[in-house]
Amino acid sequence: MSILNSGIWEASPLYKNAVLQLEEAGRVMKLDPNVLERLKRPKRALIVSVPIRLDDGAVAVFEGYRVQHNMTLGPGKGGIRYHQDVSLSEVAGLAMLMTFKCSLVGLPLGGAKGGICVDPTRLSRLEKQSLTRRYTSEINMIIGPDKDIPAPDIGTDAQTMAWMMDTFSQEQGYAIPGVVTGKPLDLGGSHGRAESTGRGVVYTIIETAKHLGFDIDENTTVAVHGFGKVGSVAAEEMALLGAKVVAVSDVDGGIYNRNGFNMKALLAYYQKNRRLAGFPESEPITNDELLALKVDILIPAAIDGVIHSKNVAKVKAKVIAEGANGPINADAHKALVERGVFIIPDILSNAGGVIVSYFEWVQGMQNFFWSEAEVNEKLKSIIVNAFHRVVDGMHRHKTNDMKTAALIAGVDRLNRAMLLRGLFP
């Protein structure tokens, strides 16, 4: 039986939700059924074994993936995730979302994603380096600055990208900085890349406030689920705008302060202790309690599927900005939209990361680098323009669902490009 018809892709809720949302967008926009069917499946998927020698001398074998969903518009682009729940289906779903995200914001890139099923917190630095180098070597035939450009995701960072870049370059015989983005500045990284996803989330929130007619001030309450690379930056930026960040959380739970946190002190505490628990002038809360807080803006910035049919009735936020990929499943999303909650969809809200990754790729190919102010200005321009295209599309298609409108905007560009290129052979 063909892998395409075996149901292997549908194993992940994230993948199934992405397909459901694509089908709804296709129905509304009357998408060519042949294009719709093609977009439901990835172009290419590679599964690799990643053996490494552990510090104790034993050999452990991990499973790694790289999925390229669609490359009609250009090279693949997408992160590398190290997490114990990574699967082929999840990676395929994330690659699909990257396709729509790149198309929506007008980048000449396709959608890809990769990962290894591993708990990176249980690896030493040497073990993680070995894992990264072997994985890079195993997928090297399908990545490259003109083929597919990985970037950091959950469990990976700039150091991981440095190891990937070095491994790929060593095997080619010369330095190829453009094979990955999210690198350290000394290896050709871009100013503003580390903060770009969280900063993009906040840019879309600012535009949402203008669209809905409310001010972001000391009376605006914000809760952030996931205080990592995205959530911590979004929380800091919201506080700088004058909003009151009343709750934040990490994998072990959250903290709450009805008067809002001193964000500078909180960030310093978290940097020192690597946990939120115990921060002065705060009350402990669970992640579920955070999602149910009565706040103006909720930013789910951790993992997919945290808002679902069993807890959606408790969600009281007026605006939800999807900092993570797929944090709201399809059933919960429908219920929230019907209740009038304004949802800034993930392929728009968290697109700042891939936008600045694109900037890094361009700067590296030209060997001409921009200041952080220039990067932020260009990021804001692209993501704000995309926001207004989505809002216009929402009105044009007579839907109150920003996610459907965003998918339509992204798929429409893909549809035109795919029809123009035709089917090979």
pLDDT of 125-177, one tens digit each? 999 999 999 999 999 999 999 999 999 999 999 999 999 999 999 999 999 99
Tell me the pLDDT band of 1, cut-offs 50, 70 and 90: very low
pLDDT band at 364 (very low <50, low <70, confident <90, very high): very high
Q: How far apart are CA 208 and CA 298, in angstroms?
A: 13
pLDDT digits (tens, 9 = 90+) for 244-279: 999 999 988 999 999 999 999 999 999 999 899 999
Q: Which residue type occupies 368?
A: F
Task: Give the tokens for residue 371.
Answer: 């200041």
Please tell me the predicted confidence (pLDDT) of residue 3. 47
DSSP 219-269: T-EEEEE--STTHHHHHHHHHHTT-EEEEEEETTEEEE-TT---HHHHHHH
pLDDT of 6: 53
Do 333 and 310 form a contact (C-beta atoms < 8 A)? no
User: pTM of the prediction?
Assistant: 0.94
Asked if residue 283 lies in contact with residue 258, where contact means CB atoms within 8 angstroms, the answer is no
Give me the pLDDT at residue 207, please: 98
Of 25, 32, 96, 105, which Cα lies nearest the Cα of 404?
25
Averaged over 106-125, what is the pLDDT? 97
Of the candidates 306, 308, 302, the residue with the CA atom closest to the CA atom of residue 334: 308
Of the candidates 69, 68, 75, 149, the residue with the CA atom closest to the CA atom of residue 107? 75
Cα–Cα distance measured from residue 101 to residue 8, given in angstroms and rounded to the nearest whole number: 24
Domains, in order of start, for the chain: 3-177 (3.40.50.10860), 196-344 (3.40.50.720)
385-406: pLDDT as tens digits: 999 999 999 999 998 899 999 9
For 46-51, the CB contacts below 8 A with 24+ separation are: 46/139, 46/142, 47/88, 48/135, 48/138, 48/139, 49/138, 50/116, 50/131, 50/134, 50/135, 50/138, 51/134
Read off the pLDDT band of 2 (50, 70, 90).
very low
Q: Of 30, 40, 101, 113, which residue is the catalytic one?
A: 113
Residue 403 designated active-site? no
